[in-house]
Amino acid sequence: MGRARRASIPAVGAVWLLLSASAGASLLSDFQARLAQTVWAAQQTEVILRTLPPSAMPASTPDGLASYAALLAENAAALNAAATARGSTDEQRRVMADGLQAVSTALQDQMALAGNRGLLGLVSTLSSLREGCRSTIAQLSAVRR
C-alpha cells in the first residue's frame, strides 16, 4: 500500500505540470467546447420557435422551449465567465469576442422570432443573455487596447 502512495505522488506532480503548462490552451479549448454547446442549444431553441405559429397575443413559453432556453442561459453565463478569466492572450480574447458576437447575433434573431410568437418572457430572457454577451465583448475589447 505504501509503495502505491509513493508512486502516485510523482504522477500527481507530473499531471499538475502538464495541466499548468497547457492552461492557456485549455482556457480557449474550454471556451470553444462551451461555445459548441451554446450554438447547439441556440439551434434547438430556434427550431422550436420556428414551429410555433405567429401570434400578437402574449403567450407562455412551452416547457420544451423553456428547457432549451435554460440550457442556453447556463451556457451563455459560462461563456461570459470563461471569456473574462485571467491569463488569456490577446489572440484568445479576440477569438472569444468573435464567438460571443456570434452568440449575440443568434440571440437577437431568436428575440425577434419569440416576439413574433407572443413569447414576451422568453424575449426578456434572451435580451438579458444578449446584453451579457455584449458586455463581455466590450470588456474583452477594452483589455486589448
- Nearest Cα to 31, choosing from 69, 68, 81, 104? 81
Q: Could you tell me if residue 135 is inside a domain? A: yes
When the pLDDT of each residue in the chain is averaged and rounded to a whole number, the result is 85
The number of distinct structural domains making up the chain is 1
Q: Could you tell me if residue 81 is inside a domain? A: yes
- Nearest Cα to 80, choosing from 130, 123, 45, 39? 130
Instruction: Give pLDDT, residue 13.
Output: 40
Q: Which residues of 110-121 are buried (b: 16+ CB within 10 A; e: fewer)?
A: bbebbeebbbee
Distance CA 63, CA 39 (A): 20
Q: Could you tell me if residue 3 is inside a domain? A: no
24 has pLDDT over 80:
no
Grid coordinates of 126 = 434572451
Higher confidence at residue 69 or residue 6? 69
85-132 per-position pLDDT tens digit: 888 888 999 999 999 999 999 999 999 999 999 999 999 999 999 999
Q: Could you tell me if residue 12 is inside a domain? A: no
Structural domain of 31: 23-144
Task: State mean pLDDT over 28-39.
Answer: 94
Q: Could you tell me if residue 77 is inside a domain? A: yes
Q: Could you tell me if residue 7 is inside a domain? A: no
Q: Could you tell me if residue 92 is inside a domain? A: yes
Q: Which residues of 11-23 are buried (b: 16+ CB within 10 A; e: fewer)?
A: eeeeeeeeeeeee
Grid coordinates of 74 = 447556463
Q: Could you tell me if residue 5 is inside a domain? A: no
- CATH number, domain of 64, equals 1.20.1260
In this structure, are residues 74 and 40 in contact, taking their beta carbons and an 8 Å threshold? Answer: no
